Structure formats: structure tokens, C-alpha cells
């Protein structure tokens, strides 16, 4: 029998969370009701009171309640709930968590869920789940379930949705901690795009043969942020950052930027790394009609009906080289920058639509000029997907891991 945290504002949505708890009990597990309401008294009896939640976050609950400021209450509980739930997980008191919420409840509950480890079941039934939920999910494995109707009592729709969500989290905790072959291996995080797949796949095979487990992240903004988050968590032994294309979108204004801190996690947390300029020759947009007018006249390539690529210019490439080098200069562990002189992507090779030796050279020169002198730059006269480049990247990473005592 597992214990599942049932977190919610039990003043306004007590009946609904009580229904969730009953469903969990009927599935053979134990609910732990956690109250994060503040404005009115709870309508059901919680197992963990709002006073306990507030105390975990150092919040003066009587003063907060007296204000009757909904925004301030949501903010306060969004800060306290993650602390309380993290403590419950650390103490082994909950095996998963589920919540119901509108705007405020979703904000509080997902803030708490984002503080929990990847792999611990997290289910959020929300009125906001049908839209862009990226701000609520972040880089964590939160399952968002659309509530269909508002969370306002029980009816033929809500009972079915809530029951299914409750059984879903029960099924998730019943799986337990699955351990597969090789899960005791050290982890390498790698970044990949369609235009660098051959390189990363070849490197993955070699690293696997060397005794590592390679986790590949799609460099689509979310992928880069997720990889950075995993590196920060301490799970990652080394980083093979072949595909840094998200920086092109971040700097130029494409749709797949991963934020200003991309490339910082390994650097700041002492994780050995190899970095390459994979696909820094392109900026991503959606359909052709989504490209901002300011880019009229630029060189484009239609990857598919939903993806329009724009070639980076000489000036943009130079700026990218400086930015990449500045991030690598933060490194507290061994890092190597790898240059495939003939192309950074499939479509950047000679005879391909994004072939531009001048722009490539501007990026490479900027890296060399800006990078700290103790950081090695390895150059090969090949395209990025040449097997020789993948092998050189693996050899450099294994060397950096050995230097850090992590081989």
C-alpha cells in the first residue's frame, strides 16, 4: 500500500478532494490530505493542516489570512507547499501526489510538484490543462489532466475525470521504482537535433560500450532546459553538448530558445563536458507565415510545413561564438570545444542550402578569441556527422571525465 498526497485548497474545493481521497482508498492506497487553503475554514478535515504548511515556509498564517488577499495567499502557499512536500518525500511519507485546481490551485500545486524528484508520480487535474501548461510543468514530469468542467462540485463529468485521475496516480505508484539493465551506470547527458542525429547516435553507441548510460535530449528549448535541470540535480556525470542550436534561437529571436542560462549547469556545477556548435547555423520558426517581417529577404529552408529554418548571418554567428565562449569560461571542470570545420549541420555542408563558410568562420574565430586559453579547442576538417567527429568528441569527453576522476 502506497501513500498519496492529496493537495488542495480545502476551503473552496474540499468535497472534490475528499472524492479523490475516497477513490485512492478504494484502489487500496492511503491518501494524505494536505490543505493549502487560506481564506476560509476547510470544509473537510485534513491530515496536514494549512498551519503546518505555512510553518514549513516560515509564513505568518494569521496575518496572511487577515489580509484576505487572494494573490498574496497563492504566492505564499506556492512558496511553502514545495518545502512541505519535499520534506514529506525525503521522510518517505508520500509515494506520489495528486491535486485539483483552477488558476490558484494549479499554481500552488504545480509549484510543489516541480520541487519533487523526477519519477515520483505527479498528477494535476486542472481547468488550465487544455492550454499552454509549460509554465506550470516546467522541466518536471507532471501529468496535466484537463478537468473539462470547472472544479465546482461533483457531477457526471467531474466524477469520471477525478476518478480516472485518482486511478492514474494509483497505477503510477504501483509501478514503484523500476530498475532496468544498466541503471547503475554513470549518466551522460547529450543534446541532439535532426541535423546532428548521426553524430550523437554514433557517440551514444561508443559511450554505451564504454560503460555509460546516455540520455539524449531534443534541443527544442524544452529539451535544453530539461537537460540543464537534470545536470543541476546531480544525476549527470558528464555532458556531450553536441547541439547548442537553442542559443541561435535565443539570440536571434527564434521559437526554440532555452533561456539565458543554457550551457551554465555543467559549467557551474563542475560537470566535465564537451561542447560543439551543432546547428548554430539555423534559427527556428514555425510555418512560413510566422516569420517576423524584420527577417524578410533572409535565407530560409522549409524543413517541413510546421518548421521554417533561417540561416544565421556573419554578424549573428560572431555574436553566437562570443556567447558560447562566455558560457564555457564559467566552467569549473574540464571542458573541450569541438569544431567541425566543414559544416555544423546537414544543410550547412558544401552544396547544401545553408552552406556559408564566412559565417561559420566568424563563429569559430569568435570562440577562439573569447575562450579562456586553458580551455582546449579541437578542430577537425569534417562535417559534424562524420564518424570521425563523433569519435573525437567521445575521446575528449572520456579524457575530461578521467581528469575529474569520474571515468
Radius of gyration from C-alpha coordinates of the chain? 24
Strand order in the sheet with 122-126: 30-35, 3-8, 96-101, 122-126, 143-146
Within 10 angstroms of residue 355's Cβ, the number of other Cβ atoms is 17
Q: Which of 5-19, 59-73, 266-280 is least confident?
A: 59-73
Cα 348 to its chain centre, rounded Å, is 28
Compute the distance between CA of residue 22 and CA of residue 30 in angstroms, rounded to an integer.
Answer: 9
Specify the pLDDT at position 177.
60
- Pair 94, 4: CB distance under 8 Å: yes
- Pair 375, 337: CB distance under 8 Å: yes
Specify the pLDDT at position 233.
87
CB-based burial, 202-230: b 16+ in 10 Å, e otherwise: bbbebbeebebbbbbbbbbbbbbbbbbbb
For residue range 43-95, what is the model confidence (pLDDT) as tens digits? 999 999 999 999 999 999 999 988 888 899 999 999 999 999 999 999 999 99
Specify the pLDDT at position 179.
58
At residue 201, does pLDDT exceed 80?
yes
Contacts (Cβ under 8 Å, ≥6 apart) of 219: 191, 192, 193, 243, 244, 245, 246, 256, 258, 278, 279
SS (H, E, C) 86-133: HHHHHCCCCCEEEEEECHHHHHHHHHHHHCCCCCCCEEEEECCCCCCC
Q: 355's torsion region: left (phi>0), alpha (psi -120 to 50) or beta? A: beta
| Axis-axis angle for helices 70-90, 103-114 (nearest 10) | 30
At residue 14, does pLDDT exceed 90?
yes
At residue 25, does pLDDT exceed 60?
yes
- Pair 188, 203: CB distance under 8 Å: no
DSSP element (H, E) containing 340: strand 335-340
Task: Read off the pLDDT band of 268 (50, 70, 90).
Answer: very high
Cα 402 to its chain centre, rounded Å, is 28
Cell for 154?
Answer: 461533483
Specify the pLDDT at position 130.
86
Within 10 angstroms of residue 103's Cβ, the number of other Cβ atoms is 12
Within 10 angstroms of residue 159's Cβ, the number of other Cβ atoms is 14
For residue range 87-127, what is the model confidence (pLDDT) as tens digits? 999 999 999 999 999 999 999 999 999 999 988 999 999 99
For residue range 158-196, what is the model confidence (pLDDT) as tens digits? 999 999 999 999 999 998 765 555 578 999 999 999 999
At residue 318, does pLDDT exceed 80?
yes
pTM of the model: 0.82
Closest to 150 measured CA to CA, from 12, 58, 24, 20: 12
When pLDDT is averaged across residues 198-221 and rounded to a whole number, the result is 97
Cell for 177?
Answer: 521504482
DSSP labels, 349-407 = STTSTT--HHHHHHHHHHHHHHS-TTS-EEEESSBTTSHHHHHHHHHHHHHHHHHTT--
Number of H helices and E strands in the chain, helices first, is: 14, 14
When pLDDT is averaged across residues 286-310 and rounded to a whole number, the result is 95
Specify the pLDDT at position 405.
87
Compute the distance between CA of residue 278 and CA of residue 74 in angstroms, rounded to an integer.
Answer: 42
Specify the pLDDT at position 326.
98
When pLDDT is averaged across residues 6-20 and rounded to a whole number, the result is 97
Specify the pLDDT at position 331.
97
At residue 396, does pLDDT exceed 80?
yes
For residue range 336-376, what is the model confidence (pLDDT) as tens digits? 999 999 999 999 999 999 999 999 999 999 999 999 999 99
Domains parsed from the chain with CATH numbers = 3-175 (3.40.50.12020), 187-403 (3.40.50.12030)
Specify the pLDDT at position 180.
57
Q: Rounded to 5 degrees, what are φ and ψ at 189?
A: -100, 130
Percentage with pLDDT > 90 across the chain: 92
Average pLDDT value for the chain: 95
Closest to 95 measured CA to CA, from 200, 222, 199, 3: 3
Determine the length of the chain.
407
Amino acid at each position: 500500500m502506497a501513500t498519496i498526497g492529496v493537495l488542495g485548497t480545502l476551503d473552496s474545493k474540499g468535497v472534490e478532494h475528499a472524492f479523490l481521497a475516497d477513490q485512492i482508498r478504494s484502489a487500496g492506497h492511503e491518501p494524505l490530505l494536505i490543505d493549502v487553503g487560506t481564506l476560509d475554514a476547510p470544509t473537510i478535515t485534513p491530515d496536514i493542516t494549512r498551519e503546518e504548511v505555512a510553518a514549513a515556509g516560515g509564513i505568518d498564517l494569521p496575518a496572511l489570512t487577515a489580509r484576505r488577499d487572494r494573490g498574496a495567499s497563492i504566492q505564499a502557499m506556492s512558496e511553502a507547499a514545495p518545502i512541505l512536500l519535499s520534506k514529506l518525500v525525503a521522510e518517505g511519507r508520500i509515494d506520489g501526489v495528486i491535486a485539483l485546481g483552477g488558476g490558484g490551485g494549479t499554481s500552488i500545486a504545480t509549484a510543489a510538484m516541480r520541487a519533487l524528484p523526477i519519477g515520483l508520480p505527479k498528477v494535476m487535474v486542472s481547468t488550465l490543462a487544455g492550454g499552454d501548461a509549460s509554465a506550470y510543468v516546467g522541466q518536471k514530469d507532471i501529468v496535466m489532466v484537463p478537468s473539462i468542467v470547472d472544479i465546482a462540485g461533483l457531477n457526471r463529468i467531474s466524477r469520471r475525470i477525478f476518478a480516472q485521475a485518482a486511478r492514474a496516480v494509483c497505477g503510477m505508484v504501483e509501478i514503484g521504482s523500476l530498475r532496468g539493465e544498466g541503471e547503475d551506470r554513470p549518466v551522460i547527458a547529450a543534446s541532439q537535433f535532426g541535423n546532428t542525429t548521426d553524430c550523437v547516435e554514433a557517440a551514444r553507441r561508443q559511450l554505451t560500450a564504454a560503460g555509460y548510460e546516455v540520455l539524449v535530449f531534443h534541443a527544442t528549448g524544452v529539451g535544453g532546459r530539461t537537460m540543464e535541470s537534470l545536470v543541476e540535480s546531480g544525476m549527470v556525470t558528464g555532458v556531450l553538448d553536441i547541439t547548442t542550436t537553442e542559443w541561435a534561437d535565443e539570440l536571434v529571436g527564434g521559437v526554440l530558445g532555452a533561456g539565458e542560462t543554457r550551457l551554465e549547469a555543467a559549467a557551474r556545477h563542475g560537470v566535465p563536458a564537451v561542447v560543439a556548435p551543432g546547428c548554430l547555423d539555423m534559427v527556428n520558426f514555425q510555418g512560413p507565415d510566422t516569420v517576423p517581417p524584420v527577417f524578410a529577404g533572409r535565407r530560409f529552408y522549409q524543413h517541413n510545413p510546421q518548421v521554417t529554418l533561417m540561416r544565421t548571418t556573419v554578424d549573428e554567428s560572431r555574436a553566437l561564438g562570443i556567447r558560447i565562449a562566455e558560457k564555457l569560461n564559467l566552467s569549473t571542470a574540464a571542458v573541450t570545444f569541438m569544431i567541425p570545420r566543414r559544416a555544423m549541420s546537414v544543410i550547412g555542408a558544401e552544396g547544401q542550402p545553408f552552406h556559408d563558410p564566412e559565417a561559420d568562420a566568424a563563429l569559430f574565430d569568435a570562440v577562439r578569441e573569447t575562450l579562456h586559453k586553458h580551455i582546449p579547442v579541437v578542430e577537425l576538417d569534417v562535417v559534424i556527422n562524420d564518424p570521425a567527429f563523433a569519435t573525437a568528441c567521445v575521446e575528449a569527453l572520456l579524457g575530461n571525465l578521467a581528469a575529474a576522476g569520474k571515468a
